């Protein structure tokens, strides 16, 4: 089963507010932006146009890898509020 097939077994209930927040001023100074490479769900994308980090939190798999990988400790991470976030379709 490839990653896209695995992702298709999940469903998402979008929270009203992001459970992932960053200080964008710190992200502006970040050279490698590892969050944009490590996330299996492509949640993070750097926008040259707005000079800011786009965070598609509604796609988050809640694996926690980004929080560990950010060497600036700039990702404030919590679980989505009750009944929100990711679940298995058949779970």
Helix (H, G, I), strand (E, B) or coil at 58: helix
Q: Are 59 and 42 in contact (CB under 8 A)?
A: yes
CB 88 to ligand SF4: min, Å? 15
Q: How far apart are CA 6 and CA 25, in angstroms?
A: 35
CB nearer ligand SF4, residue 29 or residue 90: 29
CB 23 to ligand SF4: min, Å? 8
Helix (H, G, I), strand (E, B) or coil at 20: strand
Q: Where along the sequence are the contacts to ligand SF4 (CB under 6 A)?
A: 20, 22, 26-27, 30, 33-35, 38-41, 43, 53, 60-66, 70, 72, 74-75
């Amino acid at each position: 089963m490839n990653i896209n097939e695995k992702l298709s077994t999940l469903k998402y209930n979008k929270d009203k507010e992001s459970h992932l927040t960053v200080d964008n001023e710190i992200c502006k100074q970040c050279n490698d932006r590892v969050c944009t490479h490590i996330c299996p769900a492509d949640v993070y994308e750097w926008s040259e146009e707005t000079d800011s980090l786009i965070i598609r939190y509604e796609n988050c798999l809640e694996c926690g890898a980004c929080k560990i990988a950010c060497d600036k400790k700039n990702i404030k991470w919590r679980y989505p509020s009750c009944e929100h976030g990711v679940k298995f379709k058949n779970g």
